[in-house]
Structure 1
Amino acid sequence: MLDDSKALILHACNAGENKKAKDIKVLDISSISPITDYFVLFSGSSTVQVRAIADEVEEKLTEKGYALLHKEGYNASRWILLDFGDVIVHVFHEEDREFYNLERLWADADVINF
């Protein structure tokens, strides 16, 4: 894991934990996808919590100097994607995380539990 990516992931996970995110996981997809190197996955139990987790992650990472390249899904707050380049953060409502099941879709990825 690249040191910069490792630091970003650690800051993101801590930010998610600050907002009581559930089932925090990191998927290392660097060897199986050209899209990005890592997915960080969080779950929240309501749209309010999903938005709060995403806000906290974005705020803490931008404070640390990481550039948010793209954000999707914020208005609906069921699945918010925060693209930081080598690391993409996914903040799901619990029901949507179960439905989309990225862990199954990316089953060949190395899973790092936080």
Structure 2
Amino acid sequence: MAVTTGQAGSVVASLRRDGEALVFNGVLARDAVAGLWRQALPQLAGVHRLDLAGVRSVDSAGLALLAELAARTGGATVVGLPEGLPELRDAYRLDDALAFAR
């Protein structure tokens, strides 16, 4: 499991590949996004699901990360509904797959 740490060494978020899924845990916030991005990119081939079941909350930077990863996979299914995700999806007019809703 790759772990990204935030301020004062606290665990912010983690990412691992499990079959056809990228599995996220923790808090997907600005402090974690750069590290998660570097970890996710080489693992994207064959990903069909972004598993957010273990994510406690998402901020706008975390949403941007997830939306870009979903787009690069060709529309991976998003599983899980962490705190902040529904409100941010509405604010940025994104659908359940984190694509722009027309």
| TM range, smaller chain | 0.3 to 0.5
> What TM-score do the two structures reach when normalised by structure 1?
0.31
